[in-house]
């Protein structure tokens, strides 16, 4: 939660600080509070109470036999430090905001807000992550790919919160590639495309940022160029806003998917070298501005 910040939420009457799951109770007008970077950034009509999830004391990161579990309250800055796969850093850097926002914005808040440029959503969908969803009494699981339904629309019920995000070891060990473009150096994402090849040979491409919801394109093995172009062209919810037109977003996504297909078809040692380069310098091949592509 942002402390000491000026807040102008004139209908807000209460900020609750739960310590246990039973206290995660939401009446009409109540909202979960993650880092507050969006909640405190614009008027919130009808907001009466905030339920601060950061007081639940959830551990940011847990390593288990089957992978990694990140608490929903884990910040984007912490996600960025995870070195298991380059996508953690690449997607964290895709949330174009100052370090102050990165230090407070949470992975759960980013997914629950469900903006097209939600780069934590992109990360989770790219790695087949599962959202652990709580209300005061029950728990359920759902792929993040199915949780985000559209612009600021999710499959969460009004009394539910995202408790954690589970990343399985398989996708974490896969070969990945990343492409993103924005219309200006510090602009919001125009489109963000990832590619992944698992040990089983399965190839997963994801398209987000330029669409109203994230899309996963799955193939038993690396597809042919034609099959991949057809799959990306089969997406129909390209987004129109100040950060890009639908036609441009579709064209860049097709281009990026093909680049990733080519990159992932090369021997593995090439990718390792590529990832190392990305860690040490800003990689303009993977993260571009319009006009430089
Ligand atoms: C300068 C600036 C730049 C930004 N750039 C981007 C960007 O590039 N891409 C982008 O997507 N966003 C961007 N944002 C918006 C926002 O900061 C991020 O989406 C951020 O990740 C939201 O996380 P938070 O924890 O601060 O959420 P909050 O502001 O706390 O909450 C956001 C919403 O999610 C709900 N919520 C929070 N946590 C949970 C949970 N665990 N379970 C259920 N519901 C929950 C809240 O009730 C609220 O509706 C930007 C904001 C600013 C100020």
**Co-location of 186 and 252 in the same domain:** yes
Positive or negative: CA dihedral 90, 242, 129, 51:
positive
Of the residues 138, 168, 198, the one at which a domain ends? 168
Q: How far is the CA of 114 from the centre of ligand 1 (A)?
A: 8
* Whether the CB of 71 sits within 6 Å of ligand 1: no
Residue 157: name the closest of 130, 136, 128 by CA: 136
The confidence score (pLDDT) of residue 279 equals: 32
Is the pLDDT higher at 281 or at 211? 211
pLDDT tens for each residue of 173-188:
999 999 999 998 888 9
In the chain, % of residues over pLDDT 90: 84
**Co-location of 162 and 223 in the same domain:** no
The confidence score (pLDDT) of residue 278 equals: 34
Q: What whole-number distance in Å separates Cα of residue 73 and Cα of residue 56?
A: 9
Q: Per the domain annotation, does 160 fall within a domain?
A: yes
**Co-location of 232 and 162 in the same domain:** no
- Across 16-27, average pLDDT: 98
Q: What whole-number distance in Å separates Cα of residue 116 and Cα of residue 188?
A: 10
**Co-location of 141 and 158 in the same domain:** yes
Domain count, the chain: 3
Indicate if the pLDDT at residue 2 is higher than 60: no
Q: Per the domain annotation, does 9 fall within a domain?
A: no
pLDDT tens for each residue of 208-231:
999 999 999 999 999 999 999 999
284 confidence band (pLDDT: 50, 70, 90):
very low
Task: Count the helices and strands in the chain (H runs, E runs).
Answer: 10, 15
**Co-location of 197 and 258 in the same domain:** yes
Q: Per the domain annotation, does 4 fall within a domain?
A: no
- Across 279-292, average pLDDT: 49
Q: Per the domain annotation, does 7 fall within a domain?
A: no
Residue 98: name the closest of 112, 77, 118, 74 by CA: 77
Q: Per the domain annotation, does 209 fall within a domain?
A: yes
Is the pLDDT higher at 266 or at 282? 266
**Co-location of 51 and 65 in the same domain:** no
**Co-location of 51 and 79 in the same domain:** no
pLDDT tens for each residue of 76-88:
999 999 999 999 9
Q: How far is the CA of 199 from the centre of ligand 1 (A)?
A: 34
**Co-location of 76 and 103 in the same domain:** yes
pLDDT tens for each residue of 244-258:
999 999 999 999 999
Pairing of strands 287-289, 189-197: unpaired
**Co-location of 214 and 261 in the same domain:** yes
* Whether the CB of 209 sits within 6 Å of ligand 1: no
The contacts of residue 37 (CB under 8 Å, 6+ apart) are 2, 97, 101, 104, 105, 109
**Co-location of 108 and 204 in the same domain:** no
- Across 188-208, average pLDDT: 97
CATH number reported for the structural domain that contains residue 229 in this entry: 3.30.390.50
**Co-location of 51 and 74 in the same domain:** no
Q: Measured from the CA of 31, which atom of ligand 1 is nearest?
A: 47
Q: Measured from the CA of 73, which atom of ligand 1 is nearest?
A: 41
Q: Per the domain annotation, does 139 fall within a domain?
A: yes
Q: Per the domain annotation, does 1 fall within a domain?
A: no
pLDDT tens for each residue of 23-69:
999 999 999 999 999 999 999 999 999 999 999 999 999 999 999 99
Structure tokens at 30: 């109540």
The confidence score (pLDDT) of residue 97 equals: 86
Q: Which single residue is written with the structure tokens 């040990």?
A: 199
Structural domain of 28: 14-55
8 confidence band (pLDDT: 50, 70, 90):
confident
Residue 31 sits at φ, ψ, to 5 deg, of -135, 150
Of the residues 168, 191, 211, the one at which a domain ends? 168
CATH number reported for the structural domain that contains residue 85 in this entry: 3.30.465.10
* Whether the CB of 96 sits within 6 Å of ligand 1: yes
Of the residues 131, 149, 168, the one at which a domain ends? 168
Q: Per the domain annotation, does 3 fall within a domain?
A: no
Q: What whole-number distance in Å separates Cα of residue 253 and Cα of residue 232?
A: 7
The confidence score (pLDDT) of residue 280 equals: 30
């Amino acid at each position: 939660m942002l402390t000491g910040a000026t807040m102008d939420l004139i209908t807000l009457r209460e900020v609750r600080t739960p310590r246990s799951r039973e206290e995660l109770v939401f009446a009409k007008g109540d909202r979960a509070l993650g880092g507050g970077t969006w909640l405190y950034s614009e008027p919130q009509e009808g907001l009466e109470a905030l339920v601060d999830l950061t007081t639940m004391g959830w551990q940011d990161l847990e390593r288990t036999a089957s992978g990694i579990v990140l608490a929903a309250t884990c910040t984007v800055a912490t996600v960025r430090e995870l070195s298991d796969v380059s996508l953690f850093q690449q997607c964290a850097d895709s949330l174009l905001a100052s370090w102050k926002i990165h230090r407070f914005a949470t992975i759960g808040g980013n997914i629950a807000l469900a903006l097209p440029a939600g780069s934590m959503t992109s990360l989770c969908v790219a790695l087949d992550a599962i959202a652990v969803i709580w209300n005061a009494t029950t728990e359920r699981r759902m792929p993040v790919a199915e949780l985000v339904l559209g612009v600021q629309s999710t499959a969460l019920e009004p009394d539910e919160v995202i408790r954690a995000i589970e990343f399985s070891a398989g996708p974490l060990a896969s070969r990945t590639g990343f492409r993103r473009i924005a219309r200006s150096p510090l602009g919001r994402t125009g489109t963000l495309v990832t590619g992944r090849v698992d040990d089983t040979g399965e190839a997963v491409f994801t398209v987000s940022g330029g669409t109203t919801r994230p899309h996963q394109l799955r193939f038993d093995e690396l597809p042919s160029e034609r099959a991949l172009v057809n799959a990306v062209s089969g997406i129909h919810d390209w987004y129109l806003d100040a950060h890009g037109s639908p036609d441009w977003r579709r064209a860049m996504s097709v281009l990026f998917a093909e680049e990733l297909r080519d990159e992932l078809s090369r021997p593995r040692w090439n990718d390792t070298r590529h990832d190392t380069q990305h860690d040490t310098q800003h990689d303009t091949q993977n993260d571009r501005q319009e006009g430089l592509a």
